[in-house]
Amino acid sequence: MDNVNNSGNEPEALTSELSQADIAALGISAQAQHEKPDKRRLAIIIAAVVLAVLAVALIASFFTARWYYKDKAAPGVRLGNVAVAGQNAAQLKQTVDHEVQNSKLAISDGQGKKATAGFKDLGVNVDVDKTVRNLMAAKGDGAGRVVPFSKASVKLVAKTDDLPIDTYLTKTFVKDSDQAVPSSVAFDGNSNKFVANAGHGGRAPEMSGVKNSISTLIADPGQTKSVKVTYKTIDTPVSQSTAATAADAANKLLANKIVIGNGDATQFEVPVAQLAAWIKPNTDIEKGQISLGIDKDAITSYINSEMPKQLNQNMVSQQDIVDGTGKVMLTMTKGVNGVKVKDGAAVADQVYNAMTSGQPATIQEAADITKFDVKQQKSEMRIVVDLSSQTATVYKNDQQVKTFLVCTGAPGGDETDLGNYFIYLRYAVQTMRGPGYVSPNVRWVSYFNGGEGFHTADWNPTGIAKGDPAHYGSHGCVNMNVGDAQWIYDNCPQGTLVQVVGSQPSGPVR
């Protein structure tokens, strides 16, 4: 019975233990199932944070790149096949200059003649500044500017002309005696006109291959290209009548005056020779034609450099001599407004438009104007030269101080000029010269009107004593005795008012 009871109890205990184990196992499984969603959420949050950080980094990188490249060539920009990304304007200019210098044509004629020519030899005019601006502006200024995967190839900004190409090839590959020369148009500085120069027929190089190679170098500079030229026999490439017609058209343009003002009192007429420099005869050898172009870049350069020199004015204060009541007796220095011209580009546009339309033009350049001020100087000392009495009377503060005997200018063109003047220049001793005379060691000279002045005239005591300019008159000066001229010199400084009045006597007045 005991054995039976013991064996009967074991299954129950085992069952109980298994149930606890099962429950424990089930509890662990439930916990694990509860933890899995938390881990997934955590992974999602981490991924979102990483993406946000990357997005912020990308945005920061984008704006950093925009800032870095704002004054530099953008990523992916090339001059031909040369990468220029990150170069500023000065560096781009060096790159452009370098590529232009290294752009060459290796030309041969297949008959043993060879030459290497650069752009300058062939008359190719490269605008370096415009090329640099195009490189800086490539890819625009939008969001795509800093994207490194997009590319932009920029070519040189350049002008070509058939005539210098033909001239170079002809001089290099054709003997002088065999050359065909086109009639041409040139400005003659002696006559200030364009003239037609006659050409003649002969042997000429075929230019098409060279022109095509130049176009290739403009698009992809910095290399040496090989090209072969052939020859042809031709009549005068451009007829004299064609050149004469072009010269006439150019001279009509020269006849139209271009006048530029500063908005104040100063105007400047563009010289004919300068107008001629802006007129560019363009010769098309293949078509036998000459057309006229106007060089706007040259106009702009001239206006920007020359107009400030011609039209700018420094402000000059007006200097007036006044009497005791404030009445203006004489303007010693006429006032000048200060002028500083501006906006040369607008003036250049107007000049260009006038020339292309074949019309004269008077253009006012915009300017900042500073009105002159007026300064008054009271003349304590005043000298009245009376031609009628042949005297010079000195006043101080309108009170008579002294009166001197004088002899003024002779009749027939040398009379002392009537009017108000002021002493502006003085010499203690001077050699005086004029038409037909030289007077050394003249003392106590006080000039008041050009070459007219008070001075010692010890050679003319009779004329001074008699007051007789009709027979003893000077060349316009006021002749005085030595002591009197010295008194004027010592007591009447620069700025002293001089009034010449009265009428010329026909004989002695004393």
Stated pTM of the model: 0.55
* Cα 265–chain centre separation: 22
Give, for 34, the enclosing helix (H) or strand (E): helix 2-68
CA torsion, ordered 415, 421, 425, 429, to nearest 10 deg: 40
CA torsion, ordered 203, 209, 212, 213, to nearest 10 deg: -110
Top-tier CATH class for 256-320+332-375: alpha beta
Q: What is the CATH number of domain 379-501?
A: 2.40.440.10
Order of strands, edge to edge, in the sheet holding 328-333?
Answer: 328-333, 318-322, 374-378
Residue-wise burial string across 308-346, b where 16 or more C-beta atoms lie within 10 A, e elsewhere: beebebeeeebbbbebeeeeebbebeebbbbbebeebee
Q: How many CA atoms lie within 13 A of 308 on its CB side?
A: 10
245 exposure class (CB count in 10 Å sphere: 0-12, 13-18, 19+): middle
Give, for 65, the enclosing helix (H) or strand (E): helix 2-68
Task: Give me the residue spans of the domains in the chain.
Answer: 77-241, 256-320+332-375, 379-501
276 close to 252: Cβ distance less than 8 angstroms: no
Secondary structure of residue 395 in the 3-state scheme: strand
- pLDDT string in tens for the chain (510-residue length): 344 444 444 444 434 444 554 544 444 444 444 555 667 777 777 776 667 666 565 555 555 656 777 889 989 899 998 999 989 999 999 999 999 999 999 999 989 999 999 999 999 999 999 999 999 999 887 766 777 778 899 999 999 999 899 999 999 999 988 998 899 999 999 999 999 999 999 988 899 999 999 999 999 999 999 999 999 898 998 999 999 999 999 999 999 999 999 999 899 999 999 999 999 999 998 899 999 999 999 999 999 999 999 999 999 999 998 887 888 888 989 999 999 999 999 999 999 999 999 999 999 999 999 999 999 988 889 999 999 999 999 999 889 999 999 999 999 999 999 999 999 999 999 999 988 889 999 999 999 999 999 999 999 999 999 999 999 999 999 999 999 999 999 999 998 999 999 999 999 999
Instruction: Give the bridge partners for 427, in sequence order.
Output: 445
362 close to 259: Cβ distance less than 8 angstroms: yes
